Structures are given as structure tokens and as C-alpha cells.
A = this chain, B = another copy of it.
Amino acid sequence: MASDTKKNLLDSAERAARQRGYDGFSYADLAADVGIRKASIHHHFASKADLAVALMRRYYTDLEAACAEIDSNHPTGAARLNALIARYHEALDGGQSLCLCVSFSTGTDNLSAATIAEMTRFRTMMLGWITRAFLQGQKDGTIRGVVDPTAEARAALPLLEGAQLAARVAQDPQKFEAALGLLTARCAP
């Protein structure tokens, strides 16, 4: 595998970015966390922009794998959607953390074009998966009232992200649950 240090840096950076945003962490923070000097980080990631791209790419892969695992563990559309909602809920970490893509979304001006491209790619992938979950839920009847799976997905992803944001501001995961209540009710047995 890639060096442990590199993985540790990515782990530390992802944690920091999801808690404090792109502008909210520095090479000094990472250095202290990982246990090397900040100059050494440049050996692994020449610039912070490169690090951001690497973070988004790994995040993409991770969530793609998570969605695939959900598919193989849950046959119905409702169960799949509920599993994704649960994952976004866990990602909150008690109201202190966000999806990496959400966390990056505000400070777009400081992000490189390459990073924004990765964020777009990520949202496209998630949108596709959510659409298929609604389609499945419409077919198997486990999600009530689905007329247009595409329209549902286009609302569900922003809702998940906005709900995370609301929970983050309030430092209260219940805000997330409250925001998703209407949707989960439609997925209940």
C-alpha cells in the first residue's frame, strides 16, 4: 500500500476538513497530529490544492464502495435509502462533522478547479445511486408516493447535505433526524 504516513495525513486532513472546512486546517495542524514536521508534508502533497484533490478522490472511492455494499446488503429501495441516510447521520459525529463535499462547498473561491471538478463528480455519482434507490423503491413499493425517481433524488441529496449543515450549526444531530423525518416516514414498513 501507499506509505503509512501518506494515509495518516489523508486521515488527519479528512477529519480536520470535515470539522473545520478547507480554510480551517493547516499543514501545521496536520504535522502536529501525524507527528512529522510540516515541511515533510510537501513531500507527499506538493501543495494544499493537491491534498484537497486527493481527499476528494479517496472520498469518492469510499462512498462508491459504501453504496455498493448497501446494495448487496439491502434488496429493497426503502432499506437502501434508509442505509444511506444512516450513513450521513453517522458522518455527523454528534454534530461536529460534515460530508467532505459539504464541508468544501462554502469556500469555493479558495478551492482549485481540479477540486471543484472532483466535487461535481462526487455529487453526480451520489445522485445516480440515489435515483436508482428511488427507482427500486418505486418498483418494489417500499417507498411510498414515488412518482418521479429522478426528481426525488435531485431533492434528496441537497436535503441530506442541508440537514447536515443544520445539525452542525446547532451542534445537535436531532436537527438532522428532524429534517429527514418526512422522507424516512415514507420508507417505513
Contacts and interface: CB of A to CB of B under 8 A. Distances in A.
A96 B21 CA distance: 18
Main secondary structure of the interface of A (DSSP, over half): helix
Contacts of A155: 159, 178-183
A138 interface: no
A148 to B, nearest CB: 8
A168 B108 contact: yes
A160 interface: yes
A65 B108 CA distance: 30
Interface string A143-169: 000001001101101111111011011
A105 B181 contact: no
A28 interface: no
A7 to B, nearest CB: 24
Contacts of A179: 154-155, 157-159
A186 to B, nearest CB: 11
A166 B159 contact: no
Interface in A77-134: 98, 101-103, 105-110, 116, 119-120, 123
CB-CB nearest 6 A-B residue pairs:
A162-B162, A158-B162, A23-B23, A106-B106, A158-B179, A154-B178
14 contacts: A19-B109, A20-B107, A21-B21, A24-B109, A102-B106, A108-B169, A154-B181, A154-B182, A155-B159, A155-B178, A155-B181, A155-B182, A161-B166, A165-B165
Given A161-B165, A162-B162, 12 more contacts: A24-B107, A105-B168, A106-B107, A108-B168, A120-B169, A120-B170, A154-B178, A154-B179, A154-B181, A154-B182, A155-B159, A162-B163
